[in-house]
């Protein structure tokens, strides 16, 4: 996972940049097919360049992987995303012609600027996943006004009894969460976080050239933490490729990888002020935006993901070097 960063502050809209990145990347290896780490390396590389762009790009490739895993028709071009937050707030009801979706869905990254979305909803017999035209819902005004990740347009969308044909239901009830790829995707997001954090390293290294041992020491601790997290992501990818159908393992491995990268990101954000100093934080808009974007992006991580690791030790009574 190399580090090279460019300033994208003068480039076009984030959605258009995401489209351009996807056109350049082409198809990525699917998780669990033997090249999972390569997939994450390429996503991390996008994160190094731009945190908001990688949020949109990751969602697109996650949608591609979900459709493949659940045996659905692939995307027919365009930019896709996955809108899975708070599935209970969107209700799916059966009709003679298929389904209707009613309610609101928050945190829809890319919003109606995408072409296709996979959206979760709750029905009488459990949670379901649908493929929809992303332009169809209605945007709830001023539902996304953060300082960080504002460019991702992760707005709340309103579904006014929107019709969805039967053939656009993806998988069976519960498949979205129960599939092994749910954990694979969670680890992939951690790789995006890693790239976003690594994108700060050039600015931190430049600030540490003033001869201050304290700044160099802090930079060294950041580099070590990033290298450790990268090694863990590599191990996680290898485990997924060796056991692609292990759903419980995938969830457990994802919790460990996400916790490691989140801890590294928090270390970097907490240390950045000491290394960069007031001038850099006040005068470098790209650095300031990246820090704000990372802070918002990391709210996807919850410390309760650590509970899984604690329970494993309680049940087994041991922790082994593996």
Assigned domain for 160 exists = yes
Is the pLDDT at 178 greater than 70, yes or no? yes
Check residue 5 and give its pLDDT.
38
What is the DSSP-derived secondary structure letter of residue 29? P
DSSP 70-87: TTPPPP-SS-EEEE-S-G
My answer on whether 305 and 209 are in the same domain is yes
What is the DSSP-derived secondary structure letter of residue 7? -
Is the pLDDT at 11 greater than 70, yes or no? no
Domain boundary pick from 115, 143, 173: 173
My answer on whether 183 and 319 are in the same domain is yes
The span from the CA of 90 to the CA of 291, in Å, is 32
Q: How many domains does the chain have?
A: 2
My answer on whether 197 and 135 are in the same domain is no
Assigned domain for 75 exists = no
Assigned domain for 208 exists = yes
The predicted-structure confidence for 52-61, as pLDDT tens digits, reads as follows 999 999 999 9
Degrees to nearest 5, angle at CA 203 with 207 and 200: 135
Domain boundary pick from 173, 193, 218: 173
Domain that residue 156 falls in: 80-173
My answer on whether 208 and 287 are in the same domain is yes
Q: Which of 57, 58, 45 is nearest to 4 (CA)?
A: 45
My answer on whether 61 and 87 are in the same domain is no
My answer on whether 192 and 285 are in the same domain is yes
Check residue 314 and give its pLDDT.
78
Domain boundary pick from 134, 151, 173: 173
Please give the residue that has the higher pLDDT: either 313 or 299. 299
Question: In this prediction, what percent of the chain has a pLDDT beyond 90?
Answer: 82
The predicted-structure confidence for 16-39, as pLDDT tens digits, reads as follows 999 999 999 999 999 999 999 999
pLDDT band at 97 (very low <50, low <70, confident <90, very high): confident
The span from the CA of 4 to the CA of 71, in Å, is 37
The predicted-structure confidence for 305-315, as pLDDT tens digits, reads as follows 677 667 767 77
pLDDT band at 149 (very low <50, low <70, confident <90, very high): very high
Residue 89, Cα to own-chain centre: how many angstroms?
21
Mean pLDDT of 223-229: 96
Count other Cβ atoms within 10 Å, centred on residue 43.
24
Is the pLDDT at 320 greater than 70, yes or no? no
Is the pLDDT at 100 greater than 50, yes or no? yes
Contacts 24+ apart (CB under 8 A), 234-242: 234/37, 236/187, 237/36, 237/37, 237/39, 237/40, 237/187, 238/36, 238/37, 240/31, 240/32, 240/36, 240/183, 240/184, 240/187, 241/32, 241/33, 241/34, 241/35, 241/36
Whether 300 contacts 258, CB under 8 Å: no
pLDDT band at 6 (very low <50, low <70, confident <90, very high): very low
The span from the CA of 155 to the CA of 312, in Å, is 37
Mean pLDDT of 75-104: 95
Check residue 282 and give its pLDDT.
83
Check residue 42 and give its pLDDT.
98
The predicted-structure confidence for 247-273, as pLDDT tens digits, reads as follows 999 999 999 999 999 999 999 999 988
Assigned domain for 310 exists = yes
């Amino acid at each position: 996972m190399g580090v090279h960063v460019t300033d994208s502050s003068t480039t076009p809209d984030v959605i258009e940049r995401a489209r351009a990145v996807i056109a350049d990347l082409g198809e990525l290896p699917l998780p669990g097919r033997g090249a999972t780490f390569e997939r994450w390396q390429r996503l991390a590389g996008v994160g190094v360049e731009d945190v908001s762009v990688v949020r949109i790009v990751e969602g697109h490739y996650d949608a591609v992987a979900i459709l493949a895993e659940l045996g659905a028709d692939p995307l027919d071009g365009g930019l896709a995303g996955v809108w899975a937050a708070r599935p209970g707030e969107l209700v799916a009801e059966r009709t003679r012609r298929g389904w209707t979706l009613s309610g609101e869905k928050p945190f829809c990254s890319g919003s109606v600027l995408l072409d296709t979305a996979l959206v979760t909803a709750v029905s009488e017999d459990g949670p379901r996943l649908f493929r929809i035209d992303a332009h169809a819902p209605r945007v709830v005004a001023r539902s996304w006004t953060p300082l960080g990740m504002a460019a991702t347009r992760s707005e709340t969308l309103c579904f006014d009894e929107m019709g969805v044909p039967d053939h656009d239901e993806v998988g069976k009830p519960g498949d979205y969460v129960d599939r092994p790829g749910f954990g694979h995707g969670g680890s992939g997001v951690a790789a995006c976080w890693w790239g976003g954090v690594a994108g700060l390293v050039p600015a931190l290294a430049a600030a540490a050239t003033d001869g201050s041992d304290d700044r160099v020491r802090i930079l060294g601790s950041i580099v070590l933490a990033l290298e450790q997290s990268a090694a863990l992501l590599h191990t996680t990818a290898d485990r997924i490729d060796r056991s692609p159908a292990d759903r419980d393992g995938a969830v457990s491995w994802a919790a460990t990888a996400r916790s490691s990268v989140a801890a590294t990101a928090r270390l970097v954000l907490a240390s950045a002020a000491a290394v960069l100093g007031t001038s850099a934080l006040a005068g470098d808009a790209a650095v300031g935006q990246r820090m704000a974007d990372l802070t918002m992006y990391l709210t996807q991580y919850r410390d309760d993901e650590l509970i899984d690791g604690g329970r494993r030790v309680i049940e087994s009574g041991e922790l082994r070097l593996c």
